[in-house]
Structure 1
């Protein structure tokens, strides 16, 4: 069990004052069996009115509305969480799902819905790639998922990408490089192609040893995947590091597609050359 302090600051700069449109913020850590949220606070400069709601996935979403123009926008989120995820978790998978292929119950299949459907065009290449990890028929379900996660890490070199958007899985596998969100998308789409229900997770990576892939200093924003397995529920896989379990991960949002889990999204009204740049600073430290 570790007590973590998370600070996430985003700064937008403009050449002259602009009118800021509503901004959608997904910055509040998401509680689960392994993560307990102690405090969470968001401050904005210039000041804004925050309204809160839960989206369709149960994520906490804040909408910020501004009343005055500004040439700078600072969004700062500070949170404290207690992370108790085991380093080597044991999952109580139902007997019916220990071996792959297995069948979800009618209720599970209906409730998982689009989380079982690939979100990116696939000519069959991704499914063929994923099937290459099936050792035998039937095969051990958890081993298959572990091998797929490790396979993504072995097939794709991690690369920091500052530009927005996510590569398609076929593009990521073709060029063999991508950011954590690209690797997470490959993994989630691959397991969906095999019939699993899966979702994307965005949040933070806690790396006090500074040896994990995708970390900057002791922490950074990160993206990974979760797969629904009967009995065990949602199992965490970090394909960037080829690992399983949430021992170093603090979730903020879960979604069908990574585009639904952006930490900050908004607009401004001003000249086309008004935007000057942005910077993001994240720290995740043990208290």
Structure 2
């Protein structure tokens, strides 16, 4: 099994194992931005040696599932203020990552594209078990093709301390 190579010691710390798998995907697979629709399967990503953020996410989810973990795919936005993160081509770019269920800790976000753990810089919009079920935006337009002149997306991250739930 491909994921077994990341099990450094038995027994191993759960969080360390998950971090190692996520980092191993990043180290072993080259990132390539892909604008075409669809996602590569995990074996296709391994065989090709490259993939987009959604391919990395699918590979990580399937890898940890083979070890018995619950995993769900997340689509949203990467808040890339410094411009130093991979998987975002500018403000408003969608991004994909994985949340893995760890008993006692709950759902923990893992972004194998950027080798990060936790929700900092991640703005979730949609979550599902399979990537085909994740659609961050959907809708329709009624009218003539000459009616729409432009469309833009803007994501603003605000930390409002006055908001209390």
Q: Which runs of 5+ in 2 are unaligned?
A: 159-165
By percentage of residues, which structure has more helix? Answer: 2
Relative contact order: is structure 1 or structure 2 higher (C-alpha 8 Å, sep ≥ 6)? 1
1:168 equivalent in structure 2:
41
By percentage of residues, which structure has more strand? Answer: 1
Helix, strand or coil: the match of 1:182? helix
Q: CA RMSD in A?
A: 2.2
Aligned-partner Cα distance in 2 for 1:219–1:171: 28
Larger radius of gyration: 1
**Deviation at residue 258 of structure 1 after TM alignment:** 0.9
TM-score by length of 1: 0.49
Superposed, which structure 2 residues align to 1:170-249 within 5 Å?
170-249=43-122
1:80 equivalent in structure 2:
none
TM-score by length of 2: 0.83
Contact 1:158 1:179 in 2 (8 A): yes
Aligned-partner Cα distance in 1 for 2:17–2:52: 23
1:251 equivalent in structure 2:
124
Contact 1:203 1:222 in 2 (8 A): yes
Q: Which runs of 5+ in 1 are unaligned?
A: 1-127, 269-273
Contact 1:207 1:219 in 2 (8 A): no
Alignment coverage as a number of residue pairs: 151
